[in-house]
Structure 1
Amino acid sequence: MARIPAPVAAVRSAVSRGLADLPAGALVLVACSGGADSLALAAAAHFVLGRRGAAGRVGLVTVDHGLQEGSERRARSVAAWARDAGFDPVRVSAVTVAGLPGGPEAAARTARYQALEAAASDLGAAAVLLGHTRDDQAETVLLALARGAGPRGLSGMPRRRGVFRRPLLDVSRGDTRKACAALGLAPWEDPHNTDPAYARARVRGAALPALVAELGPAVVGNLARTAALVAADNAALDELAAEAHERARSAGGLSAAALAGLPAAIRGRVLHRWARELGAPGGALAYRHVSALDALVTDWHGQGPVFLPAGIAVARRGSDLVRVVAAHIK
């Protein structure tokens, strides 16, 4: 029996672990751009689920963002490869990025995830696999550090969220490329990955290599490990915050006295949860908003209301934090 190349085995093992809990017959979709990471992921998922016979079903979705010349042709090519390889169903999802909030990267990401969620819903998929690797996780941590994102940002990309799964977060980008080469697959090279106009491309092309050069190759794995450790801490703190949130509820909103007795790490999470509950969108809710809410508790001296995204206003009324109608504020 021919020996399986180590990179191929690494990707397959990661996918097998990532799908181990799915029931027999569950449909799994692979999000595939045609790049090395998602192409190696797709090949591994097809192999792993194929070994389960009728109990393993695997399809593929490729998203055409329409941002590059020839993107439609590229998407059709990925879909044709998938059909020839035996993926079923195969879907090409064309999206419109213009008009979505955030910069080009954020807008494309929003459109892509919306398309993938829609495909999963339409097709009844139990999971959508994403090809993010250990290197992607390290880049995410560096970007979070640069932006002052705090623990939530430093926890990086979750292994699972909703229908999405990232089974390759312990696999290097180098191994996905080697796996493609070993399997005779020709990945597409996305020019955006090397375009210095994008922050992630600058981290990938310059910042992270500089750290590796100065601190050694282990820095990539160490950054990814940091994300996993912080994510575990966040999960525990979020659970405590959920309990504290319920205890702090009052007839009008939240009890300032109950909030004041909480550790700062828990209180901030409670205030963040409450702001989201009031309708503040998570993507627009920033550190300064939560800090201003916190000041109504810890530095109360009669100051005016705090204005949150989506036109939400919060004020202190007696011993409570309450939502107020902005138009009635004098």
Structure 2
Amino acid sequence: MNSAAVAEITGAVADFAERYLVSTEVCVALSGGADSLALTAAAIRSGLGVRALIVDHGLQPGSAEVAERTALAATGLGAHPRVLRVEVGRSGGPEAAARAARYQALDGARDGLPVLIGHTLDDQAETVLLGLARGSGARSIAGMRPWTAPLGRPLLTIRRAATRAACADLGLSPHDDPHNADPRFTRVRLRAEVLPLLEDVLQGGVAQALARTAEQLRDDLDVVEHVTDQHSASIAGASVACADLATLAPAIRSRLLRRWLLQQGATEPTETVVRAVGALVTGWRGQGPVAVGGAHDHRLEIARRDARLVVERRVR
């Protein structure tokens, strides 16, 4: 069947493939939900050879059976399924741990092929709202990119309702993960409560507006990153001259400082840490060193010495 929803999603995948892919063979991260099922069907309909990678997190009773049913559905669509069983750790909370295990499994099984993921426009809107609420910076508010090799998201212009409609039109029975309706998860409450309320108060179009804002912001950030690249020589060494950074725009300076801190072995410097190091450059009042992480046997500190930023290692 070639319904409006099926045609819309197939067209989105075909456009994505023409723009980003050099191979006609891809992997699809197939959860069994409507989004990834519709993506799998559309990828095959658009002429791609599909390997369906089905991750069984083992977090719910019957997960193995769900994975096997999903594999059968993938075979019925014309894909080549493979079930990946993973062990989920605890670092960063259940959502983050499951995501880390999933992406590690996908990367290990993709055999050099790109992996397509079924994130939709609704997922993008939720991501932007989460970034806004957490104050985690422009990169977070800019949301997900359609293509960050080897991961592709062809459905970022497609509403979640369209993927469900496509599955219904194709006679597919998506699996509804109970976690996707569990209000203990922040994203679920955004989906079920916050976005519908915003749509009501602002009279519709909120999800599309959030996704459009993210796209515009990504374009702006690309320019900022390009300018930052042009100043990368100023952070090439083990120490940095404060004068080389002081005259730069704050957005450029903070990005250069973050890159330099990572080069020196800092542990994922937060915005607070980067700002504190930046204050050594532009707000110098004789303050002491800034701790920026380190290894188990030492910690790293950034100090200002003779108008330069230097790295000092303190034995724990």
Superposition TM-score tier, normalisation by shorter sequence? over 0.9
Structure 1: gaps spanning 5 or more residues? 50-55
Task: Provide the rounded CA distance (Å) in 1 between the counterparts of 2:41 and 2:30.
Answer: 10
Change (3 A) 1:78 1:250: closer
Aligned partners of 2:125 and 2:208 also within 8 Å: yes
Q: Is 2:6 the partner of 1:8?
A: yes
CA deviation after TM superposition for structure 1 residue 265, in Å: 0.9
* Other structure's SS at 1:325 match: strand
Identity %: 45
Q: Which residue of 2 aligns with 1:325?
A: 313
Report matched runs for 1:197-276 at 5 Å: 197-246=184-233, 248-249=234-235, 251-276=237-262
Task: Provide the rounded CA distance (Å) in 1 between the counterparts of 2:282 and 2:42.
Answer: 53
Aligned partners of 2:238 and 2:264 also within 8 Å: no
Task: Provide the rounded CA distance (Å) in 2 between the counterparts of 1:84 and 1:194.
Answer: 28
Structure 2: gaps spanning 5 or more residues? none
CA deviation after TM superposition for structure 1 residue 58, in Å: 1.5
Q: 1:36 aligns with which of 31, 34, 43?
A: 34
Does 140-149 or 248-257 show the bigger shift? 248-257
Letter in 2 for 1:71: S
Report matched runs for 1:86-165 at 5 Å: 86-88=78-80, 90-99=81-90, 101-120=91-110, 123-125=111-113, 127-165=114-152
CA deviation after TM superposition for structure 1 residue 196, in Å: 1.1
Task: Provide the rounded CA distance (Å) in 1 between the counterparts of 2:236 and 2:156.
Answer: 42
Task: Provide the rounded CA distance (Å) in 2 between the counterparts of 1:153 and 1:291.
Answer: 17
Change (3 A) 1:253 1:324: same
Task: Provide the rounded CA distance (Å) in 2 between the counterparts of 1:139 and 1:160.
Answer: 19
Aligned partners of 1:29 and 1:59 also within 8 Å: yes
Aligned partners of 2:121 and 2:155 also within 8 Å: yes
* Other structure's SS at 1:92 match: strand
CA deviation after TM superposition for structure 1 residue 224, in Å: 0.5
Q: 1:300 aligns with which of 284, 290, 303?
A: 284
Letter in 1 for 2:69: S
Q: CA RMSD in A?
A: 1.6
CA deviation after TM superposition for structure 1 residue 118, in Å: 0.9
Q: Which residue of 2 aligns with 1:66?
A: 58
Q: 2:275 aligns with which of 280, 285, 291?
A: 291
Aligned partners of 2:120 and 2:156 also within 8 Å: yes
CA deviation after TM superposition for structure 1 residue 225, in Å: 0.6
Task: Provide the rounded CA distance (Å) in 2 between the counterparts of 1:158 and 1:326.
Answer: 39
CA deviation after TM superposition for structure 1 residue 251, in Å: 4.6
Aligned partners of 1:155 and 1:226 also within 8 Å: yes
* Other structure's SS at 2:37 match: helix
Task: Provide the rounded CA distance (Å) in 2 between the counterparts of 1:291 and 1:86.
Answer: 52
1:13-50 deviation digits (Å, cap 9, x = unpaired)? 110011114335x420010101011110011011112x
Aligned partners of 1:250 and 1:320 also within 8 Å: no
Change (3 A) 1:267 1:82: same
